[in-house]
A and B are shown apart, each in its own frame.
Chain A
Amino acid sequence: GENVEQHPSTLSVQEGDSAVIKCTYSDSASNYFPWYKQELGKRPQLIIDIRSNVGEKKDQRIAVTLNKTAKHFSLHITETQPEDSAVYFCAASLTKLVFGQGTRLTINP
């Protein structure tokens, strides 16, 4: 079955700097790669997603890149703000979502 590895597990950056979180997946059949943000005690919220026929997608300060050959995808957050502090999860999917272990992102003012 699918296996998703996510790195780093914790990430601390200065406000205004960029943050990058990376994930690898094992099943080449996976064709959908969402990223979720989860604040403490809250539900996971979709922030951006990409499908396997696209290499890059951007939405304001957030971008995701996908390398199907290498089976890895990354989340890029630019101009980070304190409200970006949360746990971020990547996932890979053919039908069900298989999640990475999560990255706790802290933005230092």
Chain B
Amino acid sequence: NAGVMQNPRHLVRRRGQEARLRCSPMKGHSHVYWYRQLPEEGLKFMVYLQKENIIDESGMPKERFSAEFPKEGPSILRIQQVVRGDSAAYFCASANGLAGADTQYFGPGTRLTVL
């Protein structure tokens, strides 16, 4: 699972700014999942993407949050007009998509702090 890359590892933003988080899946993996973890809490599903498609965005807030996984390049989670409540660790995970329920391997996470 060392193959899942996320950057930046730490991101500090002021209220109202935009945060852009990147995730490069493991080689050969075409499925990407984003999860959010608040301090001292569990992981909450946000969005599931395959190349160029959003499969399930049921866990993502309707406003200010968007995600994409383009044909070329990493998956990006974008948070516009950040607020203090967005401060959390954001993890992406990747899977190879060969089975209905795949083993997901997590990246190191991006820790977002909103001042």
Contacts and interface: CB of A to CB of B under 8 A. Distances in A.
B44 interface: yes
A95 B42 contact: no
Nearest to B95: A95
Interface stretch (B66-74, B77-85, B105-113): B105-113
A99 B44 contact: yes
A93 B100 CA distance: 9
Interface in A15-72: 30-32, 34, 36, 42-46, 49, 51
B56 A31 contact: no
A89 B43 contact: yes
B98 interface: no
A43 B100 contact: no
Contacts of A97: 33, 35, 43, 45, 93, 104
Contacts of B45: 96-98
A49 B106 contact: no
A43 B101 contact: no
B1 A99 contact: no
Contact of B107 (A1, A43, A51, A99): A43
A46 B105 contact: yes
A61 to B, nearest CB: 20
A36 B43 CA distance: 11
Contact of A99 (B43, B56, B58, B105): B43
Interface of B: 1, 33, 35, 41-45, 48, 55-56, 58-59, 91, 93, 100-109
Interface of A: 1, 30-32, 34, 36, 42-46, 49, 51, 89, 93-102
**CB-CB nearest 7 A-B residue pairs:** A32-B101, A43-B106, A99-B42, A96-B45, A93-B101, A99-B43, A44-B106
21 contacts: A1-B58, A32-B102, A34-B103, A34-B104, A44-B91, A45-B1, A45-B106, A46-B1, A49-B103, A51-B101, A94-B100, A94-B101, A95-B55, A95-B56, A96-B48, A96-B59, A97-B93, A98-B45, A99-B35, A99-B44, A102-B42
